[in-house]
Amino acid sequence: MAHGYHGSYLRIDVTAGSATRVPLDDATLRQFLGGSGLGVRLLLDEGAANVDPLAPEAPLVFAFSPLVGSPLTTSAKFAVVSKSPLTERINDSLASSGFAVAGKRCGGDALMIVGRAAELSVLVVEQDGSEEQARVRLVPAAAYRGATCQDTESRLRAELGPEYRIASIGPAGEQLVRYATISHDGRHAGRGGSGAVLGAKNIKAIAVRGTLRVEWAHPRELTALSRDLSKRSFGPATAKYRELGTATNLLTFNRFNALPTRNFQSGTFEDAVNLSPEHLTATRSKTRESCVTCTIGCEHIYSLGPPKGGHYDGVRVEYESLFALGSLCGISDPDVVLRASRRCDELGLDTISAGGTIAFAMECVERGWLDEPWLRFGSGEALLRAIELIGSRTGIGRVLAEGSRRAAHAIGHDSLSIAPQVKGLEIPGYEPRALQTMALGFAVGPRGADHNRSGAYEVDFSDKVDRRNVTLDAVRHAIETEDKAALMDSLIVCKFLRGVFEDFYAEAAVMLRAVTGWDATAGELRETAKRIVAAKRRFNLLAGWTPAEDTLPERFLNTPLPDDPAASLSRNRLNELVAEYHRQRGA
Amino acid sequence: MYVEFLGVPRQRAGVAEMVVEARTLGQLLETLSSRLPALAEVIAGDRLHPSFAANLNGDEFISDPGTPLGADDCVLILSADAGG
């Protein structure tokens, strides 16, 4: 068995409350590495593509990686992989911090959960020093029903012990909201509804604790690599994340007419400055936090209201939450956006899908297609009320909890043409007409419209393409970003390091060699990345994917962006880009 | 011509925009470097550090120091790793 791995995963049946250790051979690990890649491979082996994602037999995988537990900066990450209840396609969401390290120390390279517990439960996976394999037990969790993610985690650690690391769902996961998250340490495996998959298994939280460490093939080399990478992580390539966080995108995107506003009716928001980190920093206190093992520290936490008892009430602020709950809903009051963001975190809701679905409903009201007159663009009260209704699946929240695509089918009229989604996943904060390489990335994304699995926006913000009039030459660049993301999500290292690497594949090969002992090369890892992308597509094909899914909503096609007429994407051009993408992928 | 700073370059420059006389991108960057020493991390000689990017009038991204600039042009300077 290669170093860096345990060489097995734990398959946990929560119906029976039992676990089986399943061996993983070297070839499989070398071909799929860990994280997203390993998770997809395990789902394929399990035949998960044809299963209802909310059925008891649907597997949910927490996949670690060879780098987890190493001193390499940002490597404490895990992937949650399943069939998405929102898209009915592959879903891999990543989150960070101590759960990854503690979970791997339970003795497996992944945890797979199947079945459905008889009652709402906490799944405890624990391993003590003398044991070769982790034990599992189910603890009744009736007392946690309705508890927020944060409350669940803090109470469980108080109950079980501080050495446990907890991943939990909030009320939205219990209610099977199709874009519910799984939360750990304030971060979320956010997209695609993995929280609903866990909720459908009657599992409120997973608590992990273990002592089984893997060995590194070349520990001295690994230590030297880690020091060097940490040093470089303090340089200009990560300054943006350290100093302002992802929120700095807001004014930049607004300047380029690429900030989605009022359900993608515009690419500029007149009050964007109110939501910018520059404004937030000038008007509130701020602290920064990092994930375990991370030297970047991208989390910028802004105060909400005056201090109470000497402590500030802080909210983590990310660009995607600011855009989705701010400009997309026409909200300019930063207090409202911060409150909405925190409430989504508490309920366990993906902020992008929540904001996207609410903004869609607001436009439906504006057009007279939905009789909820209170639900108006710009109304902070409406935004906060809608979030509560979604989290509890009451009133119009029952429809909106299904996501914008299913909501459009329920609302009717021509609403599907303005539902901001691809394959059912709500579009992140990148206006496709102004960023057309990203438009392609959204259209072909295996998990739907997605900025984490395709970094094609980077191509648009470069001299490689004309972002508002891309040609077929953009396709190879889009594929390159998708491949690189697949490898980063499987090793796993944080994408915020991407600017630090001069030759990512070559450096990744060196890291992997130090950890595993494999004679990995850059060329091999390029093939590995393509293999992982292909595995996701194979899953989708088995799940019923058709080429017609690789497109964008009608709103974005043939109609220029109102505030930037040069930003126009024809249906023919998108079709050509998609066809060329599949040709180059060999499909 | 105008220069507009966004994100980290704005933090470093301490201003959102300024007026500069320059005929090429290289001249512009050298002028900025001498007038705003805090941009040392952003500008290396007549080029931007690879972590930063320049855009002309919100249209095309430019990197060649010889790129001609007109009196009415606006050059945007921003972090290269947009998104995230």
Contacts of B11 in chain A (CB under 8 A): 243-244
Q: Give yes or no for A101 touching B (CB within 8 A).
A: no
Interface contact B83-A278, CB threshold 8 A: no
pLDDT in tens, A550-559: 999 999 998 9
Beta strands of A260-406 (E only): which ranges? 286-289, 299-303, 314-317
Domain enclosing residue B66, as ranges: 2-79
- Residue the block writes with tokens 């930003």: A567
- Decide if B84 is inside a domain: no
Mean pLDDT, rounded, of chain B:
94
pLDDT at residue B82, rounded to an integer: 80
- Decide if B62 is inside a domain: yes
CATH of the domain at B55: 3.10.20.30
CATH number, domain A8-209: 3.60.9.10
Side by side, the strands of the sheet bearing A299-303 are A286-289, A299-303, A314-317
- Residue the block writes with tokens 């249209």: B59
pLDDT at residue B9, rounded to an integer: 96
Contacts of B15 in chain A (CB under 8 A): none
Nearest CA in chain B to A566: B59
Q: Would the pLDDT of A529 be above 80?
A: yes
Q: Would the pLDDT of A246 be above 80?
A: yes
SS3 A135: strand
Nearest CA in chain B to A236: B51
Q: Which of B51, B53, B84 is facing A249, going by the closest CB pair?
A: B84
Taken in order A352, A501, A457, A436, the sign of the CA dihedral is negative
Model confidence band, residue B33 (pLDDT cutoffs 50, 70, 90): very high
Distance CA A574, CA A396 (A): 34
pLDDT in tens, A477-520: 999 999 999 999 999 999 999 999 999 999 999 999 999 999 99
Interface contact B58-A257, CB threshold 8 A: yes
CATH number, domain A233-426: 1.10.569.10
> Going by DSSP bridges, is the β-strand pair A203-209/A121-126 parallel, antiparallel, or unpaired?
parallel
Contacts of A276 in chain B (CB under 8 A): none
Interface contact A244-B7, CB threshold 8 A: yes
pLDDT at residue A305, rounded to an integer: 79
pLDDT at residue B83, rounded to an integer: 75
Residue A309 gets which letter from DSSP? T
Distance CA B77, CA A79 (A): 35
Interface A–B counts its CB contacts (< 8 A) at 83
Nearest CA in chain B to A462: B61
Interface contact A499-B51, CB threshold 8 A: yes
Q: Chain-centre distance of CA A328, in angstroms?
A: 19
Q: Would the pLDDT of A69 be above 90?
A: yes
pLDDT at residue A477, rounded to an integer: 98
Q: Which of B63, B76, B82 is facing A249, going by the closest CB pair?
A: B82
Domain total in chain B? 1
A492: preceding bond cis by omega (within 30 degrees): yes
Q: Between residues 424 and 483 of chain A, which touch chain B (CB distance below 8 Å)?
A: 430, 451, 455, 457-458, 460-463, 466
Interface contact A457-B82, CB threshold 8 A: yes
Q: Which of B10, B76, B81 is facing A458, going by the closest CB pair?
A: B81
Contacts of B63 in chain A (CB under 8 A): 463
Segment B30-34 mean pLDDT: 96
CATH number, domain A436-585: 1.10.599.10
Distance CA A439, CA A434 (A): 9
Contacts of B78 in chain A (CB under 8 A): 252, 461
Q: Would the pLDDT of A133 be above 90?
A: no
Contacts of B57 in chain A (CB under 8 A): none
Interface contact B79-A252, CB threshold 8 A: yes
Report CA-CA distances (Å) from A458 to A498, A499, B75: 11, 11, 19
The phi-psi region of residue B42 (left if phi > 0; otherwise alpha if psi is between -120 and 50; otherwise beta) is alpha
Q: Would the pLDDT of A72 be above 90?
A: yes
Q: Would the pLDDT of A396 be above 80?
A: yes
Interface probe, candidates A320, A352, A450, A463, chain B, greatest B C-beta count within 10 A:
A463
pLDDT in tens, A215-244: 999 999 999 999 999 999 999 999 999 999
Q: Would the pLDDT of B73 be above 80?
A: yes
Residue B24 gets which letter from DSSP? B
Q: Which of A235, A237, A246 is facing B84, going by the closest CB pair?
A: A246
Segment A392-399 mean pLDDT: 98
pLDDT in tens, A79-132: 999 999 999 999 999 999 999 999 999 999 999 999 999 999 999 999 998 888
Nearest CA in chain B to A470: B60
Contact between A123 and A156 under an 8 Å Cβ cutoff? The reply is no
Q: Would the pLDDT of B13 be above 80?
A: yes
pTM of model > 0.90: yes
SS3 A310: coil
pLDDT in tens, A16-65: 999 999 999 999 999 999 999 999 999 999 999 999 999 999 999 999 99
Interface contact A248-B8, CB threshold 8 A: yes
Interface contact B6-A430, CB threshold 8 A: no
SS3 A174: helix
pLDDT at residue A572, rounded to an integer: 97
Q: Would the pLDDT of B70 be above 90?
A: yes
Q: Which of B8, B52, B58 is facing A256, going by the closest CB pair?
A: B58
pLDDT at residue A346, rounded to an integer: 97
Residue A340 gets which letter from DSSP? H
- Decide if B75 is inside a domain: yes
Interface contact A462-B61, CB threshold 8 A: yes
Contacts of A241 in chain B (CB under 8 A): 84
Contact between B24 and B63 under an 8 Å Cβ cutoff? The reply is no
Provide Rg for chain A, Cα atoms.
22
- State how far residue B17 is from chain A, nearest Cα, in angstroms: 13
Interface contact A499-B81, CB threshold 8 A: yes
pLDDT in tens, A409-458: 999 999 999 999 999 999 999 999 999 999 999 999 999 999 999 999 99
Q: Which of B61, B62, B78 is facing A252, going by the closest CB pair?
A: B78
Angle, to 10 degrees, between the axis of helix A351-366 and the axis of helix A404-411? Answer: 20
- State both tokens at A98: 């101590």
Every domain of chain A and the residues it spans: 8-209, 233-426, 436-585
Q: Chain-centre distance of CA A32, in angstroms?
A: 19
Contacts of A236 in chain B (CB under 8 A): 8, 41-42, 49, 51-52
% pLDDT > 90, chain A: 95
Q: Would the pLDDT of A310 be above 80?
A: no
Which contiguous run of DSSP H or E holds residue A133?
none
pLDDT at residue A308, rounded to an integer: 75
Interface contact B7-A248, CB threshold 8 A: yes
pLDDT at residue A313, rounded to an integer: 84
> Going by DSSP bridges, is the β-strand pair A77-83/A90-96 parallel, antiparallel, or unpaired?
antiparallel
Interface contact A248-B79, CB threshold 8 A: yes
Interface contact A466-B81, CB threshold 8 A: no
Q: What is the ipTM of this complex?
A: 0.96
Interface contact A252-B6, CB threshold 8 A: yes
Contacts of B49 in chain A (CB under 8 A): 236
